[in-house]
A and B are shown apart, each in its own frame.
Chain A
Amino acid sequence: MKKIYKQCLPLLTILAATNADAELRFNGFASIHGTQVTSDGSTPPFPEYNANENFSFKEQSLFALQASADLGEGLSATVQFVSEGKNNFNTVARWAYLSYQLNDNHMITAGKLANPIFYQSEYEQVGFAHNFARLPKAVYIGLDFSTIEGIALDSTFYIDNYTLTTKVLYGSWAGTVFLSSTGQDETLGLEDVMSVRGTLSGDWWNIYAGTFISTMVGGSVDTNAVLAAAQPGVTAALAAGATQAQVDEFNNTIKWGDKDGIYSYAGFNVDLNNFLVDFEITNYGVDDSSDAFNTGWYLSAGYRVRDDMTVTVHTEKNEQDVDLAYLDGVSNPILYGTGKAISEGLGFREFEANGVSVRYDFHPSAALKVDFLSGEDTRPTVGDYTMMTVGIDMVF
């Protein structure tokens, strides 16, 4: 808690110092979800879950409280605290930022804020805002750099009956990512993140596209996953006559650090006559490195059976493209074989699933969700898996 307080001290000071005329608004959201996961190989398909155990109300449950102070003249300060079950309900300041409304069309935001890696990343955790118990993992796999430190410009343009919203962001991030090849979180960093997104909306449809590029800081992904995995091959290559210069060049080739991390996404959604369709496709990876680019997509179709009940079916898939072109400059066959093995190891995991979700708005501010998912993961330790979730999402 001390850490949280320290992180947010400047913003808390501003919030506390607002004069009596400033409007202080509190909003919150919460999800209480019970989830049961089965896996043929006994390893859970996603690291935050346990497989083949009873319903657990821990992994998908969370509470969040947001405080926003309107300081007048278009200036506001916002802080959002989130306690997630998967993190033992430790409270963290997910967002803490200052916003300035330049005019009706443009708002500038600075601080710790949302990085729209994918279309719904900004409100991924607000279960009440969507119809799933969890957004499809093939796209929303839980990358922590959906929150970064930086500055963003949100703009809105009206073109006849259409609305174009854009977001341009610059920032950086340091944290951890889960790697299936090591089976644990590894440290990673992103510097000079440049992100651009555009959404064109009509009355009943939205189409969107976005991309971001950053310079990677390899962290323990490089030391524990990439370079550590290469070490036996490097030792063998040196013993077979490879030069140290060849090894150094090889290490630089396979590592993620100083390479470009590239994320892009596009999709559309439709809400017409109670029929709902969503499609999103993403492609991301670390360019010119041992990382394989992921392509994830989902397609969902829903129907609003009544004003308070929506049934949605969806299909999702996450694939990896192991492209060995980055090894073209590696002439030593042992090193080439080592790089190939690392890329294939990092790019081995793929999964696909089909699901059905029912949302029942039993209260204007609360929805009951029942969600069943059946999938298949290429890792032998996972194989076929199912996820059953029953829970409540609310806003307040």
Chain B
Amino acid sequence: MKSVLVILSLLFSASAFAGISVIVHPSNSTSLTEDEVARIFLGKMKSFPGGGSAVPINAADGSNQRDTFNDVVLQKSSSQIKAYWSKLIFTGKGTPPQEADSDSEILNLIKSNPNLIGYVSNEAVTGDVKVVAQF
């Protein structure tokens, strides 16, 4: 019975996380490809294609949103990404994106700053932000 409960709870937690939405400020008219989203979050692209600086905000380390984003968009494990940023941090060439603790914090940041880009779980998206990609 105990193992059945564990399996059910795992299934429930998996189905509860349906995916992530990449979001920007509603005034941001940019459209982004998956590759461009990845390049912004890897520090390789610092402006939106339509102009204006692009400042990425990461979900908290270890969160479902962050893991999904790493797997699907960046296509790297957490350690690989940390190794990638280590090369940039310790050569003075870049710093990883700032982190926000929750979907609501990311939504609040994005809706108040046109330069920011972030991602939240699909269920968390509100009308205060614009979705530019879904994974």
In the complex, are the beta carbons of A66 and B89 less than 8 A apart? yes
> Nearest residue in B to A27 (C-beta to C-beta)?
B89
In the complex, are the beta carbons of B86 and A361 less than 8 A apart? no
Task: Please tell me if B2 contacts chain A, counting CB pairs below 8 Å.
Answer: no
Question: Cα distance A66–B80 when bound, in Å?
Answer: 21
Task: Please tell me if B83 contacts chain A, counting CB pairs below 8 Å.
Answer: yes
Task: Please tell me if B133 contacts chain A, counting CB pairs below 8 Å.
Answer: no
**B83 interface neighbour in A27, A122, A128, A163, Cβ under 8 Å:** A128
> Nearest residue in B to A161 (C-beta to C-beta)?
B35
In chain B, positions 82-126 with a C-beta closer than 8 Å to chain A are 82-83, 86-87, 89-93, 95
Known: A109-B92, A361-B79. Contact between A128 and B61, CB under 8 A? no
Number of interface residues of B (CB under 8 A): 22
Q: Which 4 A-B pairs have the closest CB atoms?
A: A361-B79, A307-B77, A122-B91, A104-B46
In the complex, are the beta carbons of B93 and A163 less than 8 A apart? no
In the complex, how many angstroms separate the beta carbon of B7 from the nearest chain A beta carbon? 23
Task: Please tell me if A308 contacts chain B, counting CB pairs below 8 Å.
Answer: yes
Task: Please tell me if A107 contacts chain B, counting CB pairs below 8 Å.
Answer: yes
Interface size class of A (residues with CB under 8 A): 35 or more
Question: Cα distance A112–B80 when bound, in Å?
Answer: 29
Residues of chain A within 8 A (CB-CB) of B93 are 107, 154
**A203 interface neighbour in B35, B45, B77, Cβ under 8 Å:** B35
In chain B, positions 41-63 with a C-beta closer than 8 Å to chain A are 44-47, 53, 61-62
Task: Please tell me if A14 contacts chain B, counting CB pairs below 8 Å.
Answer: no
Question: Cα distance A123–B88 when bound, in Å?
Answer: 9
Residues of chain B within 8 A (CB-CB) of A154 are 93
> Nearest residue in A to B95 (C-beta to C-beta)?
A25
Residues of chain A within 8 A (CB-CB) of B79 are 307-308, 361, 364-365, 367
> Nearest residue in B to A366 (C-beta to C-beta)?
B79
Known: A104-B47, A307-B77, A308-B77. Contact between A128 and B82, CB under 8 A? yes
Supplied contacts A27-B89, A66-B90, A114-B91, 10 more A-B pairs, CB within 8 Å: A97-B92, A104-B46, A104-B53, A114-B92, A122-B90, A122-B91, A123-B91, A163-B44, A365-B79, A367-B79
